[in-house]
Chain A
Amino acid sequence: MANAELKLAPIAPVSFEQEYGIDKFLSMEARLLDEERYPEWLELLTEDIRYQIPVALNTYRRARQVSATLKPMFIIDDGFPGLKQRAAREATGLVWLNDPATQHLRIITNIEVETTDTPHEFLVRSKFMIFRGRRDKDIASHAGWREDILRQTPQGLRIARRVVHLIERVVMDKNLNMFF
């Protein structure tokens, strides 16, 4: 799906200022999540957001679309209410594995910005590494890339769509209860 959209030739021109603003926005967003500031993070999302993490199916190249039974699957496929529900769970104080506190660290890099056919919306690709540490030495990390649609609103940039591509098929972590 994503690969079909890729264009090697960049990229309708985006002003340095706009690109710089998007770069700083993504860093700020990552920090809000690292600091578990979920209500503020939710304010960075549009009400019509779609947030997806597809399963990275392990299929032969030539067979990718062939089998009727291996349809695309998602680890998360949420709109705003679903994301709010996940954030609310974190805030209950009843998720025992987050106490002692979990440490989070996100690195966002390789940011590429493209204009889209919709005014005020940008297609933004980025790579990420996310680390979480808890307990004595329970440290897990995940790497992947994201395709976002960021919308410029009067209140500032907002995330209108995010597709998170993980590079692992079998999730090598006890859970993915985190935002990417």
Chain B
Amino acid sequence: MKKFNYQELVDSEQALQKRSIFWDPAIYEEELKQIFNRCWLFLGHESQLPQPGDFIRTYMGEDDVIVVRGKDKVIRAFLNACTHRGNKVCQAEGGNARSFTCSYHGWSFNTEGELARVPLEKEVYDNLHRERFGLVPVARLESYKGLLFGCFSESAPSLIDYLGDVAWYIDIVTDSAQGGIEVVGAPYKTEIPGNWKLPVENAIGDGYHVAWAHAGAMSVVGAIASGRSDEVLGINANNTGVDQNSAIEVVMNTHTALTTLGGQSGYALYDHPEPVLAHIEKNRPNVIEKLGELRGRQLYGAETHIGVFPNVQIIQGLNFIRIIHPKGPGKFEVWTYAICERDMPDATKEIIHDHVRQTFGPAGLLEGDDGDFVEAITHSAAGYATRQMQGFLGMGMGRKTPWDGPGEASPGLVNEACQRGFYDQWQRTMEADNTYEIIGQTAPIAPVTAVLKERRHG
């Protein structure tokens, strides 16, 4: 028995989404359980945790999580909640720690999560079984080429199976860099009064809004403003036309990718991209050798928005990773990390950092526009009549284009294929009886972990 009629909430055939999915607290509670407690969620990048004791704090859904490299150099993730009474054991956003100590009664946990010290233990406890009171670990933690993901489901498919075809696109970011990629600095963090799904599908697929919603920014930044070109990402100045042959939206099993191809399109919004493009062209032969012609020539250096369900976007060109943390049905935090190729010259990395800050930081020239309509879409659904309305994402439906990479491609950046893919995946995840159904597979019969669990309890 499903808690809601998801076929009615998301009508895939007509590309309609009931607006209550942005507002209804009961649907939101179900999302925390069905999506955020079962999917693989992005935690961070290994480059943030080079030394034993290095840690970052993040969220999985609304769960506060510490990700820490232990003294044994292993990276683990724990719920940030004291096993005594539940207070947070860490209030900093990151750093290097020898232990995490609760500010309530002083219980202290080491970087491997073990309960290491209990004030007045001998005087006040008889036989405190400390080994039962370690920090609660996130059930699964895996790395895909340095990108750390966690999952609360013990029985979920492995990270690589969960990513599936989208790994082919992620590799363009992770494998192109000779020395890998790096995340430097802390993320930008902004709290926006809107539903978490709206910024996700905006970032993974909404090419339609770029020239209109960001019209002010587009006339002062990048290729058009600097006179290098009269179009950007295939869209003419002043939104007067669009080249639908120069970009594709790709829907895969579970995830999505949007790319404007061409090998350099990712730098259209840069005021001074020349040093970055020089690095890219210098590195391109290596990428072709490693990843082949299609990815090496067309995708490396292109504006490519990789959407990993549910809430992380890896965006090549703009060069950031963005996570959307839900904070109730009507609020989210957006975290933006700049990413660079580790072996880029420092001056080139600076250009990328400058650009991320200038465009999509909290004071970014483009970032400022999106929060406004995201808020309005969410909060206007407070009205009962408005809530009965449906959003329409029918653009480009049925249009297909040949594509040699994985996934099904639809032509053009101004297309709503990725957004439809996202809501279809939302529906499938909300309906899924088990974690394998989330990625369209059948669960293995009698999973080993279930048997082990039975034994443990028996």
Chain A residues at the B interface, C-beta cutoff of 8 Å: 53, 55, 57-60, 63, 66-77, 82, 85-86, 88-90, 92-97, 138, 169-178
Cβ contact within 8 Å between A85 and B365: yes
From the candidates B96, B220, B358, B367, name the one contacting A66 in the complex (CB within 8 A).
Answer: B96
Cβ contact within 8 Å between B190 and A96: no
Known: A74-B357, A75-B361. A58 touches B92 (CB 8 A): yes
Main secondary structure of the interface of B (DSSP, over half): mixed
Cβ contact within 8 Å between A75 and B357: yes
Give the CA-CA distance A89 to B368 in the complex, in Å: 11
Cβ contact within 8 Å between A89 and B365: yes
Cβ contacts under 8 Å, A170 to chain B: 189-191, 333
The 10 listed contacts between A and B (C-beta, < 8 Å) are A67-B94, A68-B50, A70-B93, A86-B363, A94-B216, A94-B219, A96-B216, A96-B372, A97-B369, A174-B371
Give the CA-CA distance A169 to B189 in the complex, in Å: 7
Number of A-B contacts (CB under 8 A): 130
From the candidates B184, B220, B354, B363, name the one contacting A75 in the complex (CB within 8 A).
Answer: B363
Cβ contact within 8 Å between B363 and A177: yes
Give the CA-CA distance A108 to B174 in the complex, in Å: 47
Give the CA-CA distance A64 to B361 in the complex, in Å: 23
Main secondary structure of the interface of A (DSSP, over half): loop
Cβ contact within 8 Å between B357 and A59: no
Give the CA-CA distance A92 to B47 in the complex, in Å: 40
Chain B residues at the A interface, C-beta cutoff of 8 Å: 47-51, 54, 91-97, 183-186, 188-193, 213, 215-217, 219-221, 333, 354, 357-358, 361-365, 367-369, 371-372, 375
For B185, B186, B358, the residue with the greatest tally of chain A CB atoms inside 10 Å of its CB is B186
Cβ contact within 8 Å between B95 and A174: no
B332 to chain A, nearest CB (A): 11
Cβ contact within 8 Å between B95 and A77: no
Nearest B residue to A77, CB-CB: B357
Cβ contact within 8 Å between B363 and A176: yes
Nearest B residue to A87, CB-CB: B220
Give the CA-CA distance A59 to B367 in the complex, in Å: 26
From the candidates B54, B189, B219, B371, name the one contacting A175 in the complex (CB within 8 A).
Answer: B371
Nearest B residue to A82, CB-CB: B358
Nearest B residue to A63, CB-CB: B95
Cβ contacts under 8 Å, A74 to chain B: 357
Cβ contact within 8 Å between A71 and B184: yes
Give the CA-CA distance A31 to B421 in the complex, in Å: 49
* Other A-B pairs, 20, CB within 8 Å; known A59-B92, A63-B95, A63-B96: A55-B188, A58-B93, A67-B95, A69-B54, A69-B184, A70-B185, A75-B361, A76-B363, A82-B358, A92-B215, A92-B219, A92-B220, A93-B216, A94-B216, A96-B213, A97-B369, A170-B189, A171-B190, A174-B193, A174-B372
Cβ contacts under 8 Å, B372 to chain A: 96-97, 174
Known: A73-B185, A170-B190. A59 touches B93 (CB 8 A): yes
From the candidates A63, A68, A172, name the one contacting B92 in the complex (CB within 8 A).
Answer: A63
Nearest B residue to A74, CB-CB: B357
For A57, A68, A170, the residue with the greatest tally of chain B CB atoms inside 10 Å of its CB is A170
Nearest B residue to A97, CB-CB: B372
Cβ contact within 8 Å between B358 and A175: no
Cβ contacts under 8 Å, B190 to chain A: 170-171, 173-175
Give the CA-CA distance A53 to B368 in the complex, in Å: 16
